[in-house]
Amino acid sequence: MMLRRKCRNSAFISACLVALALVATPFLMAQEQDLAQLRLKATALEQQGQNPEAEEIWGTIAEADAKDAEAFAHLGLLEARQERLETAIDYYRRAVAINSNLPGLQMNFGLALFKVGHFPDAIKAFSSEIKRHPGDPRLTILLGMAHFGMKDYLVAIPYLQRATERDPQNFALHITLAQSCLWSKQYECVVKVQRLLLALKQESAQVDILAGEALDQMQQSAVAIKQLRAAVLASPKEPNVHFALGYLFWTQGMWKEAADEFDSELQNESQNVKARIYLADSWVQQGEFAKAQPELEKLNATDNSDPLVHRDLGMIYAKSNRTDDAIRELRTAMELDPGDAELHLRAARVYRSLGRGDQADAEGEKARKLPPQRHQSLQEMIDSIEAPAP
């Protein structure tokens, strides 16, 4: 009797479950249909640019199902459209954690990361996407630019080369490629970019400056000067183009030519402090002390952090027999640039003129122990102008 009752109970439970399933199925189907309608409505609003309304619906869908990758992906897109990139990134991360293969997700995720400068994560997202779309032009550019942002210039170069081949009229890409080549010491690559632009009859003073730097680094200073002369003629108002040519003249000891170019740069941009400093130094090197002194003293009163200003003042004061002032200025220059052997040699001469042989010998010994002075590269000089130290 007990066994028969258990069987009857089991049959009853099974019947109840079947009945519940029959009742629940239409409800679940209706719920799915409602969600499908919501998705269609949200997508339509999104396409119409009604971002807040679309976001509200996608938010409702995400609340109903915390594993809905599509909803989080759309929320990320809508936040990104409204320039709320950090919030967008959070939504994209949730979507990627659920379904990283959702179409377009990695691209949008990477773009948001790229825009806020999170280059390593952007590279991961773009790399994942390019596996599904090999050779995609947009992804190629983005990967090149992201590696450039990371200062991985050697890695950036192949992507940027492919990008410029597809879009030879894109100046920004050519400039970025030339910079990547220069900063990774691929000097032939810089010159190749310049020649390509010339073949396309597209002049770019900025690329000419980079090519001039590359040629100078390749010990082809005469060719570099010729290139920058052409750049000056083609674009005489281009920022830093006169400074670039003047600096190459300065490194070659061509003081008058350097002074002319620094003066031209100042006519274009009177606030270029580096041009003022090197113009004054060019005068000093030509022995025009009376012309240089007031300018150097004015520079020193404005900002006393450049060793070249103190060195030149030390030279002028020494020639004027203002020995205490000369020593003071040369000492200040040494503190600012302890690796410059010439400063110690000049101090030695001043001490020798004062009959202070021991101090002169000590300065001479310090000079002998220091390696030859290296001029800053042209690119370093231009960077110091564009992003001056605080």
What the chain holds in terms of domains, given with CATH numbers, is 58-134 (1.25.40.10), 137-238 (1.25.40.10), 259-390 (1.25.40.10)
Higher local confidence (pLDDT), 319 or 147: 147
Q: Average pLDDT of 113-137?
A: 93
Specify the amino acid at residue 201.
K
Angle at 22 between CA 21 and CA 26, to 5 degrees: 105
Give the CA angle between residues 93, 94, 98 to the nearest 5°.
115
Task: Give the mean model confidence (pLDDT) for residues 251-277.
Answer: 95
Model-level pTM greater than 0.85? no
Least confident of 74-88, 240-254, 348-362: 348-362
C-alpha gyration radius of the chain: 34
Residue 351 has pLDDT above 90, yes or no: no
**Burial class of residue 203, CB neighbours in 10 A (0-12, 13-18, 19+):** middle
Return the pLDDT at 344. 82
**Comparing C-alpha atoms, which of 131, 128, 175, 170 is closest to residue 156?**
175
| pLDDT of 381 over the 70 cut | yes
Task: Compute the distance between CA of residue 26 and CA of residue 54 in angstroms, rounded to an integer.
Answer: 28
